[in-house]
Structure 1
């Protein structure tokens, strides 16, 4: 995976003024575009799309400062159809308009070329199991919320708090298959995992595929397949989020599995009364890497 990510970075450099073929590059590396984008985002700390934009604007800044071409020509060279669109992207990276930078020579903010390297980590074993599950349903109450990487998501918190206590009891009684108990489900996540993009959050339970869905509940159909299940215990949600990050930095690079499209599921097995600590299982949909 480290080699595939570095080949992706090299591909970006060769195509800063052209089209990227991420799907083709992923296929040549024996993986999928979905998995490659998710791993890039997790390890680089930014979505691939954001990295490409920053690199393009870093290189485009030299063309702007040199002043040998008009701004429209530069915009088209880097894939923009107008000086307005190019100007918005340029300002987002450099904090100044292209015309101002051409006149003043700055300010300029450089995005260095990313390079992935293997480091020796993994001193803390990860408690993991691989589970094969038939198709099932997730039922409960859904909401569209923004993706937040660190800390408590207040939108999810508000969604759960709006449900009466009797509803939590009712949902738990409906649980009919693994993952067991009340579940925190994220679905429709952008493959780049861009912070702030919307996802579907479901607070509910898992039931068999043939189970009827109460009219007042939403449902997510889950395809049959394998799951990597990571058990965590400690401060909540910090321990869970750290484990989630470690799946990308440690577990996937060390194991012959890759992510496949599907919901991510957190099962709360046990928790303190004030929810400051919890024992959880993180379920990620996976498939063999080759």
Structure 2
């Protein structure tokens, strides 16, 4: 069997585990069961998973549960005790410690942040976000399509990064992007379309779920978001509600995309840096 075909089968087995974890996030972690999902010997499964995904099964489960908890805190009035229980913690105190360690503040204080946009007006205008203008060259990327809630796009990134890691395609400066085609306020969560993308060089070809495409270049307005991905919606709200009407810019016929400037597996959510790129027809100062 060709080497690439063997590797694809290996990656597919690990991806079945990632899908199983995401679909059974409320279940206890059973490594023997997960090894069976991957058709691996329990003696070798955990090592194969860790080397391909860059984190342990326990770390994946913890990260996904806390990510879901952050979204629940911002989007609902669900009691913290219930969120803690669903995240697999035996007490609210244990959940509060774990959440604060990862997100930089306890759950109640984190929930309170939804009252503000990504700046605090009480701090004055210097605290307001800044939009910069950039002219981008086209970006050649490998992409995996995701259909469903944007909060769950991580599955497509897991597929993409496992594929790239196994083929040693990571290179210094390669850009990680997310393309988002639909407005979550207008399209049902189950129908939202997005692409997880990794910049690749010429000569790399797609296979299976991996496709090769080009992200359009040209003028863009860029808003930097610092903080958890669960809070990105507030930056989008400010960009479209406050900045765009006053800017004189006109959006172009291309999807908005995010560029992720650090690794969510090794970076505390409060320190994550995301550049939101809004394609525009031309820079406002150049309009006639």
| TM-score normalized by the length of structure 1 | 0.44
Q: Which has the higher helix share?
A: 2
Greater Cα radius of gyration, structure 1 or 2: 1
Q: Whose strand fraction is larger, Structure 1's or Structure 2's?
A: 1
